[in-house]
Amino acid sequence: MLPFVVQGQEIDYDSLLQRIDTIENPVYKPVVSFSYGVLNFRGDVQNSLNTPVIGNNALAVNLSTFVDRQHNYIANFQFLIGNLSGNSYDHSDLSRNLNFKSSLTSIGANVEYRFGHIIDKDALIRPYLSLGAGILSFNAKGDLVDGNGQTYYYWSDGSIMDIPELSSGEALPLYRDYQYEIDLRLREQEEFGLGDYSQVALAFPISLGAHFRISDRAFFSLGVSYFYAVSDMLDNVAYEGTSIQGSKGNDSFVY
């Protein structure tokens, strides 16, 4: 009977080692998360009031997984969809009364650091910082005419009329309908022979925020991401290549 007793002890010991190993080195599967936020454009045509909490709605899907055994670094793969828009008003230079709205789709990846070297991984609040890269697509359109096809003409008193300010004849007031039906790149090509630019660009996001732990497998996060685009054309106004000249420097946006 002794051999069988020894064998039984060996089986129990192996099982115990497996259980200990499972506890000390648990298997962490990739995590899928969803986020909601707002997009704020930073460029030539931007709103006079620019705050991180007011903007266009956007949704993101994120797939994340640990990349090291100590769980200090996380790889994130993100899909972001939303809209960018801007409205610029100028009573002294009437040509600077501009607007645009663009659909935005972004796919990218980043590496996130949760300060695990100085903050316990079981802490209720863990700050994070991430750097990444991705590709975004855009398609800027403008609200240049009303519902009847009448072109907007901005006057120095802030009104919008159906004829230029210095024209003769009776001017009738118009009101923006905020329907962005004019493809701005196509208009540049047809009217000015310009607009020869790609609507796909590289982007480099940097993010910071904090994760709030609910349980070992659940958390929610608050954060902000700044996307630097390798393009000056997101609003169809650039330093070179568009009928309206903008300032030097590429466009960006905040999510």
> Taking the chain (255 residues) in consecutive chunks of 10 residues, what is each chunk's mean pLDDT?
42 49 61 94 90 89 91 95 96 94 98 92 92 98 97 96 93 97 96 94 98 84 97 96 93 97
Listing DSSP states for 184-208 in one string gives HHHHIIIIIS-----SEEEEEEEEE
Please report the pLDDT score of residue 153 as a whole number. 98
Please report the pLDDT score of residue 7 as a whole number. 42
Please report the pLDDT score of residue 216 as a whole number. 75
Please report the pLDDT score of residue 25 as a whole number. 54
Evaluate the CA torsion angle 235, 240, 246, 250 in order and state its sign.
Answer: positive
Q: Which two tokens stand for residue 52?
A: 């991180």
Report the run of H or E that residue 114 belongs to, with start and end. none
Residue-range domains of the chain with CATH: 29-143+178-254 (2.40.160.20)
Q: Which residue has the tokens 């120095």?
A: 156
CA 146/CA 193 separation, integer angstroms: 25
> By the 8 A CB rule, do 85 and 57 touch?
no
Q: Which two tokens stand for residue 209?
A: 């925020």
Give the Cβ contact number of residue 91 at 10 Å: 12
pTM across the whole model: 0.86
